[in-house]
Structure 1
Amino acid sequence: MNMQWLDYDTENCSIQRALEIVGEKWSLLILREAFNGVRRFDAIRSHLGASEAIISARLNSLITSGILVATPYKEPGHRTRNEYRLTPKGLDLYPIIISLLRWGDRYEADPAGPPILIKHRDCGEQVSTVVQCALGHVLDSPRESQVSPGPGAKLRGSVH
């Protein structure tokens, strides 16, 4: 079947749904912090420089979406607080964070170069992302792929 993209409704688009959860700047920056081991509210807020209200709202959204989980901890002499840890759903966002980082390094980095390097702990080589098919063929361009309707595709104008 030759798919005509414009014939299909985008209301249930997976990209759109994902962006509703993680497509806001502060959400992605909180995820960056979580991937780098920053788990406590005050440390996140301090490192990002965002208001308490923004950080709180984004954390709550990421928890509600199942991307982060709040884990209570208590330091002696202080009240119980939460650490924010990535769930398996959150950990699955790692390739997206790496892809955004690599894109930023390529097109938006400081003239001196990238501010951080992420390397494989075992061999020391830089980490990157690769787009490949299920058989392992690497796609170097979107021209090497084709789009076809999936089971959730709906023609435009059809009853939902």
Structure 2
Amino acid sequence: MATTELPDSMTCSIERAVTLLGERWTPLILRELHTGVVRFADIQQRLGIATNLLTTRLATLVRAGVVEKRPYRDTGARTRYEYHLTDSGRDALVILGALQQWGDRHVPRLAGPTVERRDRRTGARLDVSFTDPEGHAVPLDTVAFVRTGHRPAGTPAA
């Protein structure tokens, strides 16, 4: 489903995002793409997903502009496709990181995490957080979702 196919009655960005990305397999497919697994057969093998489900999910991501198809052809084989993240797909890394962080804290494996979020340049561990315009992390208990044109009681007007 392309973003242009989402009904205008879906006014909340969370609702629109979940409609597009919230199906169980979609974040897992995006995880594989973010780790460099881009060929259909490789994604299918790593996830153990049925061919028809993977085909449908990838088609949805392509139509939405999250992923793009690129043809390739191994010697002596027919043309196949790789799936590469677009800017939109790369931006979904924040969503995946937030899901992973929440999972590590609230539904952890007994043996611990299988993957850590780290800075590619420094190797430092990373947390997903809200940041203010200066780039400082903001405590979750101070974050509010404010409807456009509305302020929560007790907050000053800008």
Aligned residue number for residue 133 of structure 1: 132
Offset from partner CA, 1:44-85 (integer Å, 9 cap, x none): 111111100000000000000000000001111000100000
Answering whether residue 88 of structure 2 is matched by residue 89 of structure 1, we say yes
Cα 1:110–1:146, aligned 2, differ >3 Å: closer, same or farther?
A: closer
Which whole-Å CA distance do the structure 2 matches of 1:50 and 1:146 have between them? 37
Partner of 2:62: 63
TM-score by length of 1: 0.82
In structure 2, the CA distance between the partners of 1:63 and 1:118, relative to structure 1 (3 Å rule), is same
Q: Could you tell me which amino acid in structure 1 is paired with residue 148 of structure 2? A: G
Question: Quick one: percent identity of the two aligned structures?
Answer: 35
Aligned residues: 141
Under a length normalisation based on structure 2, what TM-score does the superposition of the two structures give? 0.83
1:15-94 alignment, distance < 5 Å: 15-94=14-93
Question: Cα RMSD between the aligned structures?
Answer: 1.6
2: CA distance, partners of 1:108 / 1:89? 28
What letter corresponds to residue 73 of structure 2 in structure 1? K
Shift of 1:110: 1.5
Which residues of 2 match residues 118-129 of structure 1 at below 5 A?
A: 118-129=117-128
Give the whole-Å Cα distance in 2 for the aligned partners of 1:101 and 1:145: 20
CA distance in 2, matches of 1:11, 1:121: 37
Unaligned stretches of 5+ residues in structure 2: 1-8, 150-158
Relative contact order, higher structure (CA 8 A, sep 6+)? 1
User: 2:153 maps to which residue?
Assistant: none
Secondary structure of residue in 2 paired with 1:44: helix
The unaligned stretches of length 5 or more in structure 1 are 1-9, 152-160
